[in-house]
Amino acid sequence: MISELSTKSNIFELDDTKLVEKFAQGSNQLLASTNLRLEVNGGVSQLLTRSSDAIAIMYLQTKPTTVIIKHSSPFLKLIDQCLLDRDFVLIGDANRAGFIEYKHYVTPAGYKISYTDPSILWKKWWPTERFQNKQRFNMDILVNFKDNWYPVQGIVVNAGTFTIKTIAGQLALKRDNKVLWLAQSNQSPIVTDDRSPVSQSFEPVFSKVEDRPYSQSISSDLAKKIQEKQLKVDPDRVMLIIGELEEKLKAQAKLNQETEAKFKELESRAIIAEQRLQIAYKFLDKAGFDRQALYK
């Protein structure tokens, strides 16, 4: 039975998991569990311990909604999982010391969101592009560009720069940059170099976690089937080939530059000759000579 105090203050006895779920949903109620309480004031929602230590803070009025979580909190894994289930993505260390930052993005139905370096996106996109019948738009992979989602039309890798092409423009990112993207949730998860599936149910390791895509946990049987049906493509071998092609492109670019320099030199000489010819024409005109007689 809810006590009189609980009724007046709108505090309801919940377990810790339910309370964290309420926090992740952006609830504006004053709630409490055995070990935690939720308070909202001025557009800021705080998850507090019994000792009033803020272990998670949600900024409800920011666009996109932002959450920061304390590194050392024993509830870190639970809060992380609840946020990921609601399409928050881990951005990295927050401006506040000792906290990590998440942001919420509206995700279209049927897609899972990821925030990774562009090489992870390339490894996910390349097989879908290479082995599909060519369509006008490949909707398997979408990238966030100018606050909207667009299908990836192409990814060009050149000298460590990933150029991601969309119908609205293109993104040029270095390998250590991050990109926000979507993959259809019915696709197989990205497989790491040791052929082990990446699972969403992990203990966050914050020096590396932002390099990993978030995907649904999968059973060992399904993982085995996926591994058996994997395309016989070694991403590292492909990257090596790309590196060799990049060197050839650099050599060709150098040759093009040399050719262009020679062309500019010839063009400059032509301009000078034209200028001298015009001076000669002016001299002949002043002397009363018919320039057309030169060509008779």
The dihedral built from the CA positions of residue 79, 82, 88 and 91, taken in this order, carries a sign that is: positive
Beta bridge partners of 180: 115
pLDDT at 212: 38
250 vs 56, residue with greater confidence: 56
The string of DSSP letters for 86-150 reads: TTEEEEEE-SSTTEEEEEE----TTEEEEEE-HHHHHHHHHHHHHSSPP-S--TTEEEEETTEEE
Percent of the chain at pLDDT exceeding 90: 29
Beta bridge partners of 183: 112, 141
Instruction: Identify which of 25, 55, 61, 62 has the alpha carbon closest to the alpha carbon of residue 37.
Output: 55
pLDDT at 222: 47
Dmax over CA atoms of the chain, in Å, equals: 115
Side-chain-side CA neighbours of residue 204 (13 Å):
27
Mean pLDDT on 222-232: 49
d(CA 243, CA 246): 5
Q: Look up tokens 């709108």; give the residue.
A: 10
Kindly report which listed range (20-29, 44-53, 223-232) carries the lowest average pLDDT score.
223-232
Question: Model confidence over 115-151: pLDDT tens digits?
Answer: 999 999 999 888 877 655 555 567 888 998 888 888 8
pLDDT at 17: 93
Question: Model confidence over 89-120: pLDDT tens digits?
Answer: 998 899 999 999 999 988 888 888 889 999 99
H/E segment holding residue 20: helix 16-24
pLDDT at 4: 37
173 vs 292, residue with greater confidence: 173
Domain residue spans of the chain: 4-104, 111-232, 237-295
pLDDT at 112: 87
Residue 54: other Cβ atoms inside 10 A: 17
End-to-end CA distance of the chain: 115
Q: Is the predicted pLDDT of residue 79 greater than 70, yes or no?
A: yes
d(CA 252, CA 100): 45
What letter does residue 28 receive in the DSSP assignment? -
pLDDT at 295: 59
Question: Model confidence over 42-78: pLDDT tens digits?
Answer: 899 999 999 999 999 999 988 889 999 999 999 999 9
pLDDT at 73: 93
pLDDT at 181: 92
User: Taking a C-beta distance cutoff of 8 angstroms, is the pair 23, 56 a contact?
Assistant: yes
d(CA 209, CA 193): 16
Question: Model confidence over 156-215: pLDDT tens digits?
Answer: 998 889 999 988 899 999 988 899 999 887 654 443 333 333 333 333 333 333 333 333
Question: Model confidence over 280-289: pLDDT tens digits?
Answer: 777 777 777 7
- At 171, the amino acid letter reads L
Mean pLDDT on 248-265: 76
d(CA 267, CA 273): 10
Contacts with 264 (C-beta within 8 Å, 6 or more apart), sequence order: none
Determine what percent of the chain falls in helix, strand and coil, rounding each to the nearest 5. Answer: 35, 25, 35
d(CA 155, CA 174): 13
* E strands, 218-273, in order: none
pLDDT at 74: 93
